[in-house]
Amino acid sequence: MIANYGYKDGSGEYYISIDTSKCVDCAVGRACLTGCPKSMFESMTDDYDEEVVWIKAAFRRSLAYDCATCKPSSGYSRLPCTDACKPGAIKHSW
Amino acid sequence: MSEAVLAPTEAAKPEFWRWQETCWADESKDWRSAKSITVGVDVGSVSSQCVVVADGELYAYNSMRTGNSSPDSATNSFKGVQLKTGLTLNDVHFVVGTGYGRVNVPFSHKAITEIACHARGANYMGGNKVRTILDMGGQDCKAIHCDEKGKVTNFLMNDKCAAGTGRGMEVISDLMQIPIAELGARSFDVDQEPEAVSSVCVVFAKSEALGLLKAGYTKNKVIAAYCQAMAERVVSLLERIGVEEGFFITGGIAKNAGVVKRIEKLLGINAMQTKIDSQVAGALGAALFGHTLVQKQGPQKPLIS
Amino acid sequence: MITAGIDVGSRTVKVVLLEDAKVDGAPQLKYVVKGKHLMFPGDLDADAAADRAYDDALAAAGIGRSEVSAIFATGAGRKMVRFATDSVTEMSAGAKGVCYFFPTARTIVDVGAEEGRGIKTDGSGRATDFAGNEKCAAGAGSFAEAMSRALQLSLADFGEVSLRSTKSIPMNAQCTVFAESEVVSLIHSSTPKEDIAKAVLDAVASRVCAMIRRVGIDNDVVLIGGMVHNTGFVQSLKAAMDLADLKLPEMPEYVSALGCALLAAEGVH
């Protein structure tokens, strides 16, 4: 399952997708949880009883602002979260 | 809109945004002869539904406006079904809660997300050919992909903005002073199909609507422009995950032909039909999850008698 | 020489008339504000509204149209002011106007009725960077206005009332439309009005702050736009941006119009 967390408003579309089939049985010990400087990810058990990660509810509606500190405008060329996720489950839409 | 803030002495003004509350039961069935009775309760920020599934089939449902207290809404929505059928919580084998208030259904045995419940409900209502679900709820808008069993394979939800949600439509109903159930039909009674209101924001669309009226638009044309804007916004949400046939729409706005027809036109795909009230998809899916759980775990004691 | 600046906003039209003046003992003040006018247009025809506002300002200042050398326009409706000599962006006008009052300004926060923006300046009056609230009403004045209606308070009282609050309740809703329902629920659960008012202003302040962070916060920070009159908002913004000092100009809604008039004067030179 691909779970998309985020929103669209007047300024654009900002979604972080998590491919749960790649996320379950994580081979890197949930490196995303510590990889994100703002700890935006957390572990949970989904509706189909699989242990995966999601974006914490507090961040889901302000991704453009929260992720800005990791984007090229702040000098980063690679995202810490997608780098940490070796299975490639995490994707940013912008 | 905020009718609750009016002083008690003011005469009740007509509330145009009020949609029809419904309560239905299958008169041809008797729940007393069912082996498994499960209940799904979907408490949203705008509306609440309670669905009863008997032996895996839809038996009864109640749909009403959520008041100011989520736990009370859950209890009240069940009471509606109780009044109609005589069913009590003691007769129920499993209760699943979902929606914004899924943590606020005091008598539920399990909580399941509205995404999974809508997919399961749509699978029942539209059949196993349903692959893409659009849910336009009171305060959010969801695009869901599912397989032939109703299991979610992809989803996307937008609950940041009122555009594309029921509240957005209520704002226009209130502004135009036209009952919400009439908006759809009126949107087609225009001399020429107008362009969408250009804003993605309902607050700005409101100011824009006033400007259009001054510029000579009829009320119907403004409604049409608004429906078009909502359709375009919703379609862009859908296109983010792609639209595969069979396409199914749930939620209150499914009853608004003005938006539905415009969505179908933009996609070039028609939505599948159902005789069941489109607002109950979430609660129905919840009750069906409950049914599966009863098969696996056996019936559970009621949490509140 | 007299120039005029017209700021056609989403709600109000502001006009500033500027005359050059030789002020002894204060050589940095090259101009003096000859007149100013604020109008709430009943309709949305930007050109007609700007025209009326301009006429009213001229009449109040006792100046004839022919005496004005140049008129620059800014704001959401700037392209629709047909009688303007030229139009400039809100960024240029804001930076110019603010630096007139505060040459030490480096970050400008402009919160209008429907739009908000953060402007960086180098103190010379030029805008070097900016970020906008991008078509979301929740980061602007109309959010506070809608909430004040839900609370049945005038906008003026709204700010005052929020200052009495000692609690910080977070608001869940991002959208103005949803926030209105949330405010109604809070009222129903008997939350005191001052706490709700503060929660609303904190929400706008945090949105404005997030916007400003995109250009970076450097002292001195100046707030312009109508929200300056809302003392509660000023407090919330100071807290959100973690500022010891937030500069407030005397005629906050007119700063952009003044900037226009200054640019018009320089253009003519």
Structure tokens at A90: 């995490």
Interface test with C, best of B72, B161, B233 (most C CBs within 10 A): B161
Mean pLDDT for the stretch of residues A8-37: 89
Band (pLDDT 50/70/90 cuts) for residue B93 is: very high
Ranges of each domain in chain B? 13-127+280-297, 132-271
| Least confident range of A76-85, B61-70, B259-268, C107-116 | B61-70
User: Mind giving me the DSSP string for B25-87?
Assistant: E-TT--GGG-S-EEEEEEE-SSEEEEEEEETTEEEEEEEEE--S-HHHHHHHHHHHHHHHH--
- Contact between C147 and C111 (Cβ < 8 Å): no
Assess C122–A contact: CB distance below 8 Å, yes or no.
no
Of residues B45 and B81, which shows the higher confidence score?
B81
Q: What pLDDT band is residue B8 in, cutting at 50, 70 and 90?
A: very low
The answer to whether the Cβ–Cβ distance between B112 and A2 falls below 8 Å is no
- Tell me, what's the pLDDT at B1? 39
How many inter-chain contacts (B to C, CB under 8 Å) are there? 61
| Mean pLDDT calculated for residue range C19-27 | 58
Work out the average pLDDT over C13-23: 79
A 10 A CB-CB count for B69 gives: 16
The pLDDT value given to residue C24: 54
Q: Give the burial string for B239-249 (b: 16+ CB within 10 Å, else e).
A: ebbebeebbbb
Task: Determine, for residues C178 and B45 on separate chains, whether the beta-carbon distance falls below 8 Å.
Answer: yes
Mean pLDDT estimate for chain B = 87
How close does chain B come to C48, measured CA to CA in Å? 14
Write out chain B residues lying below 8 Å of A47, CB-based: 112-113, 115-116, 152
> Chain A within 8 Å of C178 (Cβ-Cβ)?
no
Q: Convert the pLDDT of each residue in C203-240 to its tens digit.
A: 888 888 888 887 888 989 999 998 898 899 999 999 98
Tell me what pLDDT residue C109 has: 94
DSSP state of C16: E
Q: For chain B, what percent of residues have pLDDT higher than 70?
A: 93
C110/C101 Cα distance (integer angstroms): 15
Which comes out higher in pLDDT, residue B222 or C181?
B222
Query: B139 contacts in C (CB within 8 Å)?
Result: 178, 181
Average pLDDT rounded to a whole number, residues A61-73: 79
Most confident residue range from B179-183, C142-146, C167-171: B179-183
Chains that touch C (3 or more CB pairs under 8 A): A, B
ipTM for the predicted complex: 0.87
User: What mean pLDDT comes out for the span B129-138?
Assistant: 93
Cβ of B161 and A7 within 8 Å? Answer: yes
pLDDT band per the 50, 70, 90 thresholds, residue C39: low
Is the CB of A68 less than 8 angstroms away from the CB of C174? Answer: no
Mean pLDDT of B65-70: 77
The pLDDT assigned to C40 comes to 63
Does the pLDDT value for residue C51 go beyond 70? yes
pLDDT at B288 over 80: yes
**What confidence category does residue C32 fall into, taking pLDDT thresholds of 50, 70 and 90?**
low
> In CATH, which of 3.30.1600.10, 3.30.420.40, 2.40.50.100, 3.30.930.10 is domain B132-271?
3.30.420.40
List chains touching A (3+ CB pairs under 8 A): B, C
* C-alpha to C-alpha distance for B207 and B199, rounded to whole angstroms: 10
Residues linked to residue C121 through DSSP beta bridges, in sequence order: C127
pLDDT at A74 over 70: no
Asked if B2's CB is within 8 angstroms of C180's CB, the reply is: yes
Pair A54, A3: CB distance under 8 Å: yes
Which secondary-structure segment (H or E) carries C59? helix C46-61
Mean pLDDT calculated for residue range B15-40: 89
DSSP tag of B195: P
* Structural domains in chain C plus CATH codes: 2-102+251-268 (3.30.420.40), 137-241 (3.30.420.40)
State the nearest Cα–Cα gap between A62 and chain B, in angstroms.
Answer: 9
Kindly give, in sequence order, each residue whose CB lies less than 8 Å from that of residue C44, ignoring residues fewer than 6 positions away.
B207, B210, B211, B214
pTM: 0.80
Cβ neighbours of C140 in B, within 8 Å: none
Contact C135 A10 (CB under 8 A): yes
Q: Give the domain ranges of chain A.
A: 2-92
First to last CA, chain C: 10
Average pLDDT over residues C22-26: 51
Contacts of C186 in chain B (CB under 8 A): none
pLDDT band with cut points at 50, 70 and 90 for residue C168:
confident
Give the pLDDT of residue C182: 85
Longest dimension (CA), chain A: 39
Assess B305–C contact: CB distance below 8 Å, yes or no: no
Per-residue pLDDT, C27: 38
- With a cut of 70, say whether residue C29 has pLDDT above it: no
The C-alpha of B102 sits at a distance from chain A's nearest C-alpha, in angstroms, of 13
The CA distance from C217 to the nearest CA of chain A, in Å, is: 14
* Nearest residue on chain B to A3, alpha-carbon basis: B155
* CATH number at B13-127+280-297: 3.30.420.40
Query: Are the beta carbons of A65 and C210 separated by less than 8 Å?
Result: yes
Closest chain B residue to the Cα of C145, Cα to Cα = B203
CA distance A7 to chain C (A): 11
Which residues does chain C have within 8 Å of residue B230's beta carbon, measured at their own beta carbons? none
